A = this chain, B = another copy of it.
Amino acid sequence: MAPAPGDREARREDVSQAVWQVLADKGFGGLTLRAVATAMGASTGLLMHYFPTKRALVAHALDLLEKRTAARPRREPPAAGLAALRAALLDILPLAPGDVARNRIWVSSWDLALADDDLGADQGARYERLRSSLLRHLETARDLGELPPAADPGRLAATVVAFTHGLVVQALFDPARFPEDVQTSLLDDFLASIAEPLPARGP
């Protein structure tokens, strides 16, 4: 007897959860049908029903990463300008365990994306979208007088993304050295350095 539609949906969710677990533990380099089957206590044969090829499994994993990133809980966007920028960047950093898993999987995906022209172009476009979404906050910040008048929001967007993703990578490899409060205060210092004239050298 074929499973009821509700069962099929539940099983599909189990499969996605197992794929996520394998990615968080082993990255794309460790993503195999066998590893997913083990993670969900199922047979490799069952998994082949969902993923007839390795390529199909990888495509599902990338799609899952995209969807879970888009659907992740986010901070209420406060006001606008630099405060909104700060909230958007805190939503990226690996502060809580779920954020750590998501970031680990993203960093892991870069190996795949660097080796494949199409995936590399997708990742390049994803960076462009991220810079554009932050640009909005930087332009507002400039209009609000939160940035020096000579600041270039377009260039700053690339700098802000660079700082944030470089902090992600360091924090993933050394969580003890970069707990939540350290990441947050490094971000605040960085935002202060692009925003405010520093105090004059004294005394």
Residues of A at the B interface (CB closer than 8 Å) are 25-30, 104, 107-108, 110-115, 120, 123-124, 127-128, 145, 148-150, 155, 158-159, 161-167, 169-170, 172-174, 177-178, 185-186, 189-190, 193-194, 196-202
Measured in the bound complex, the distance between the Cα atoms of B201 and A148 in whole Å is 6
Contact B114 A172 (CB under 8 A): yes
Determine the main DSSP class of A at the interface with B. helix
Shortest distance from the beta carbon of A23 to any chain B beta carbon, whole Å: 10
Contact B190 A159 (CB under 8 A): yes
Contact B148 A199 (CB under 8 A): yes
Contact A166 B172 (CB under 8 A): no
Contact B112 A29 (CB under 8 A): yes
